[in-house]
Chains A and B, each alone.
Chain A
């Protein structure tokens, strides 16, 4: 029984990602022991929470069976909206609320187009990737506006000894999202919708509502994370979050979220995002040309998915072998109903 439990834990993709994380961290630490110095951890963990928040939103949406390629653009559009609104004389908190509602609105439009017209979310959100990025650039009015210091950025990014305030916001998001996905009935609906939409709706789940919720949550979290990044660097850049959509999907996939929906965890997505950031830092610290980061990331995506698939398949084979044995043992007891009932 105990070995079975151990097996089922090791079979979980996010655990194999975690093991990979430990291995990679150890490798970089051996290459340069400053890699795990307080200073380097401070640098990496100062920026990582933003990426984790986006990855959490993407992971939940992917578990529900859909994609969002527009998160990188929303990551720029939301804070740009906030900054420009404050420049128009809108009170900072109102500007923040309006900005975040842009994220929600983009999520809603993504969901509406995907579900109403029955087209792949890949296409709907690819269109939104361009639209939202274009709106961001238009909103700058030609050149990036200065950062208005009325905005309460310290609340979100204040630098403590090692960590930034954003880490605690991220932990809050991860905690709430984790409870929602893994402990609430809504989470059960999200997994079932992504696992098999037809089966879920035959059980009375309103799958379109579930997906819509996930689209909106993803848009909101992408905007919220973008806001944190702008607050940290104190400069709203129209190029912010460029290619972030692919990196977030990479983080989710590295963390064991399935491209086909129905599988994944918040923990996995977070580990995936952290792994990417430490990979980037590790390559720099090991004095490898930083251009190798993308090659490293690419290899990581492929290796982790191949590894996860292999682990899961091995687990399944093990189960099937056990089952075959059990069937053989019980086959003597298996009287055919057909024979016994036929007169």
Chain B
């Protein structure tokens, strides 16, 4: 973990048809860290990540990425800068193969006319397998449809995809929801691996016990506000639980 901030938010506000979903939120995220963003349902976690991922724009406030102010008009723009978001619903197409999923929207092509071209399937297959090996996910074939993978393996594929495209920040929205204990541990191990490879991750969850073991920093939200922002060494699980429950 370095002392440099990779993302800094200043006084972000967001309203949804009259509801003040995000209230003056400021947040600093250090490079190469794992930040646990916790809060009950409706705390504003999803709003915050939608803004960071470029899906929505804030009504006021600024976002700085690597020191420069950014205003994302689309998720694609955020992705191009290296901010990749993994949503609650898996961002994978169940019927499609692993390799095709990894390259959705960013296919390697040849003979292209404008943005349309023939896919280099062999090189994509190989790159897919390499990307999976990089996150220690050993699957049989890049042609396996994603719907034949377990929940943990699917998250692994998504993380491998983010790694392959050199993401600097990975936002994981409830990546352990609906997963068994064993599968959850798999995902946690993937996230730990990210830190070693120089990727910052923001891990959103309402389950403190999932994120606590791997987080460097914990940020608690309630009613659209940040109510605590603590380094792990300055807090403990009881204090956090109390914050989470009593706000």
Q: Do A and B come from one complex?
A: yes
Contacts of B189 in A (CB 8 A): 337
Would B182 and A316 count as touching, CB distance under 8 A?
Answer: no
Q: How far is the CA of A103 from the CA of B189 in the complex (A)?
A: 54
Would A342 and B213 count as touching, CB distance under 8 A?
Answer: yes
Would A202 and B85 count as touching, CB distance under 8 A?
Answer: yes
Residue in A4, A8, A188, A262 whose CB lies within 8 Å of B104: A188
Would B95 and A195 count as touching, CB distance under 8 A?
Answer: yes
Would A184 and B116 count as touching, CB distance under 8 A?
Answer: yes
Task: Give the residue among A189, A192, A205, A258 with the most B Cβ atoms within 10 A.
Answer: A192
Q: Does A331 contact B (CB under 8 A)?
A: yes
Q: How far is the CB of A319 from chain B (nearest CB, A)?
A: 5
Given A189-B105, A319-B148: A195 touches B213 (CB 8 Å cut-off): no
Given A199-B90, A205-B104: A185 touches B96 (CB 8 Å cut-off): no
Q: How far is the CA of A169 from the CA of B94 in the complex (A)?
A: 34
Would B213 and A191 count as touching, CB distance under 8 A?
Answer: no
Given A203-B105, A341-B213, A342-B213: A188 touches B119 (CB 8 Å cut-off): yes
Would A183 and B182 count as touching, CB distance under 8 A?
Answer: no
Would B182 and A334 count as touching, CB distance under 8 A?
Answer: yes
Would A188 and B107 count as touching, CB distance under 8 A?
Answer: yes
Q: How far is the CB of A108 from chain B (nearest CB, A)?
A: 19
Would B188 and A338 count as touching, CB distance under 8 A?
Answer: yes
Given A184-B116, A202-B87, A341-B213: A191 touches B95 (CB 8 Å cut-off): yes
Would A199 and B119 count as touching, CB distance under 8 A?
Answer: no
Contact with B along A5-44 (1 / 0, CB 8 A): 0001000000000000000000000000000000000000
Would A334 and B185 count as touching, CB distance under 8 A?
Answer: yes
Residue in B85, B118, B213 whose CB lies within 8 Å of A183: B118
Q: How far is the CB of B49 from chain A (nearest CB, A)?
A: 12
Q: How far is the CB of B162 from chain A (nearest CB, A)?
A: 11
Contacts of B179 in A (CB 8 A): none
Q: How far is the CA of A203 from the CA of B87 in the complex (A)?
A: 11
Q: Does A234 contact B (CB under 8 A)?
A: no
Given A191-B96, A205-B104, A338-B185: A186 touches B116 (CB 8 Å cut-off): yes
Q: Does A290 contact B (CB under 8 A)?
A: no
Q: How far is the CA of A84 from the CA of B156 in the complex (A)?
A: 60
Which B100-138 residues sit within 8 Å CB-CB of chain A?
A: 100-101, 103-107, 109, 115-119, 121
Q: How far is the CA of A192 from the CA of B106 in the complex (A)?
A: 12
Would B105 and A337 count as touching, CB distance under 8 A?
Answer: no
Would B93 and A195 count as touching, CB distance under 8 A?
Answer: yes
Q: Does A323 contact B (CB under 8 A)?
A: yes
Which A119-154 residues sit within 8 Å CB-CB of chain B?
A: none
Contacts of B103 in A (CB 8 A): 188
Q: How far is the CA of A23 from the CA of B119 in the complex (A)?
A: 35
Task: Give the residue among A205, A323, A336 with the most B Cβ atoms within 10 A.
Answer: A336
Would A316 and B75 count as touching, CB distance under 8 A?
Answer: no
Which B45-92 residues sit within 8 Å CB-CB of chain A?
A: 55, 74-76, 79, 85, 87, 89-92
Would B100 and A191 count as touching, CB distance under 8 A?
Answer: yes
Given A204-B75, A331-B182: A184 touches B119 (CB 8 Å cut-off): yes
Would A199 and B76 count as touching, CB distance under 8 A?
Answer: no
Would B116 and A337 count as touching, CB distance under 8 A?
Answer: no
Contacts of B228 in A (CB 8 A): none
Q: With CB as the reference atom, state the residue of chain A lying closest to B189.
A: A337
Task: Give the residue among A183, A186, A192, A202 with the most B Cβ atoms within 10 A.
Answer: A202
Would B93 and A337 count as touching, CB distance under 8 A?
Answer: no
Q: How far is the CB of A192 from chain B (nearest CB, A)?
A: 5
Q: How far is the CA of A334 from the CA of B188 in the complex (A)?
A: 12
Contacts of A258 in B (CB 8 A): 95
Contact with A along B186-209 (1 / 0, CB 8 A): 001100100000000000000001
Q: How far is the CB of B153 from chain A (nearest CB, A)?
A: 9
Contacts of B4 in A (CB 8 A): none
Q: How far is the CB of B245 from chain A (nearest CB, A)?
A: 20
Would A191 and B116 count as touching, CB distance under 8 A?
Answer: no
Q: Does A196 contact B (CB under 8 A)?
A: yes
Q: Does A259 contact B (CB under 8 A)?
A: no
Contacts of B140 in A (CB 8 A): 4
Q: Does A283 contact B (CB under 8 A)?
A: no
Q: Does A200 contact B (CB under 8 A)?
A: yes
Contacts of A342 in B (CB 8 A): 213
Residue in A191, A204, A338 whose CB lies within 8 Å of B209: A338
Residue in A187, A334, A337 whose CB lies within 8 Å of B213: A337
Would A204 and B148 count as touching, CB distance under 8 A?
Answer: no
Q: Does A263 contact B (CB under 8 A)?
A: yes
Would A199 and B93 count as touching, CB distance under 8 A?
Answer: yes
Contacts of B115 in A (CB 8 A): 185
Residues of B whose CB lies within 8 Å of any CB of A are 55, 74-76, 79, 85, 87, 89-96, 100-101, 103-107, 109, 115-119, 121, 140, 143, 147-148, 150, 181-182, 185, 188-189, 192, 209, 213-214
Given contacts A191-B100, A341-B214, 20 further A-B contacts (CB under 8 A): A179-B118, A183-B118, A183-B121, A184-B109, A184-B117, A185-B116, A186-B116, A188-B103, A192-B105, A199-B90, A199-B91, A200-B105, A202-B87, A203-B104, A204-B105, A263-B95, A316-B147, A320-B148, A327-B150, A337-B214
Q: List the 6 shortest-distance A-B pairs measured between CB atoms, nearest first.
A: A195-B93, A185-B107, A341-B213, A204-B76, A204-B105, A203-B104
